Amino acid sequence: MPQTKEASLSASEFMMLRQAKLVGVGLITLLHVRFLSFCAATENQPCRPSSCGDIQNISNPFRLKGDPLGCGHPDPAYELACENSRTILYGKYHVAEINYDNYTIRVVVVGLEKSNCFSLPLYSLTADHLDGYKYPDELDTVVLMNCARPIFDQYYIPIVPATAPMLLSLPHNHMLMR
């Protein structure tokens, strides 16, 4: 009967070799498990909501500039900046509110004159800015404004907010269709 290398070893040498193999396999397994858990922790780490000024819950699909790249939508169009405690979208819009329940974001144009209802935005925010989501084929841009005086212009439609009591003296709310 041919002798194997292990058969030529003494019983104590055989046990030491077997223990060394087990320790080696155990060490490799431990390193593999540690590596996998490290990768899983870095890739699947839950992103904490960010905040800036009045916007306290900035989370997916949005992310605040400086947040980990894995947080929020990867498209830079969803990155918000925080300047002087104001949340800014594209450097052109102050973010007034993000509502994750009904999937809306309310923005105000930076530099829009508050006292002049005829100062219109110089640029528009369209669905083309936000990739990764499906929109109806036809979208209309609507500008809502609250003015101190009524506007008499064919393009400005007077509106009354649904939440306003009818008997109250209301500011002059208008809608501009573009």
Out of 51-65, 80-94, 149-163, least confident range: 149-163
The answer on pLDDT for 14 being more than 80 is no
* pLDDT at res. 52: 93
Residue whose C-alpha is closest to residue 175's, from 137, 120, 122: 120
> In this structure, what are the phi and psi dihedrals at residue 81, rounded to the nearest 5 degrees?
-110, 155
At 36-46, the pLDDT tens digits run: 444 444 444 57
User: Which pLDDT score, from 0 to 100, does residue 55 have?
Assistant: 92
pLDDT of residue 106: 80
Summarize pLDDT for 75-86 with one digit per residue, the tens.
888 899 999 999
With a CB cutoff of 8 Å and minimum separation 6, the contacts of 79 are 62, 63, 64, 65, 72
φ/ψ bin of 148: left (φ > 0), alpha (ψ from -120 to 50), beta (otherwise): alpha
Query: Residue 31's pLDDT is what?
Result: 45
Q: What is the pTM of this model?
A: 0.53
Query: Residue 131 corresponds to which tokens in the numbers above?
Result: 């990739």
Which tokens go with 17? 């070799």
More confident residue, 151 or 9: 151
**Which pLDDT tens digit goes with each residue over 94-127?**
888 888 888 778 887 776 666 666 666 555 555 5
Q: Are strands 142-147 and 172-177 parallel, antiparallel or unpaired?
A: antiparallel
Percent of the residues in the chain that have a pLDDT greater than 70, as a whole number: 46
The model's pLDDT over 16-43, given as tens digits with 9 standing for 90+, comes to 555 555 544 444 544 444 444 444 444 4
**Domain residue extents for the chain:** 13-45, 47-132, 140-178
